[in-house]
Amino acid sequence: MDRSQKTEAVAELNRTFNEVAVVVVTRNLGLTVAQSTQLRNKMREAGASYKVSKNRLAKIALEGTEYAGISDLLTGPVALATSTDPVAAAKVASDFAKTNDKLEIVGGAMGKQVLDAEGIKALASLPSLDELRAKLIGLVQAPATKLATITQAPAAQIARVLSAYAEKDAA
* Residues comprising the chain, all counted: 171
Cα separation, 43 vs 39, in Å, equals 6
- Taking residues 103-122, report their average pLDDT: 90
Name the nearest CA neighbour of 79 among 44, 60, 106: 106
Q: Is 124 exposed, middle or buried (0-12, 13-18, 19+ CB in 10 A)?
A: buried
> Mutual orientation of helices 88-99 and 33-45 as an angle, nearest 10°?
150
Contact 23, 81 (CB under 8 A): yes
Cα separation, 36 vs 51, in Å, equals 10
Which of the four pLDDT bands, split at 50, 70 and 90, describes residue 158? confident
Residue 65: CB atoms within 10 A of its CB come to 20
Domain 3-126 = CATH 3.30.70.1730: yes
Listed by start position, the domains of the chain span 3-126, 128-170
Alpha helices in the chain (DSSP H): 3-19, 33-45, 55-62, 88-99, 117-124, 129-170
Contact 96, 28 (CB under 8 A): no
pLDDT of 171 higher than 70: no
pLDDT digits (tens, 9 = 90+) for 15-64: 999 899 899 999 988 889 999 999 999 999 989 999 998 999 999 999 88
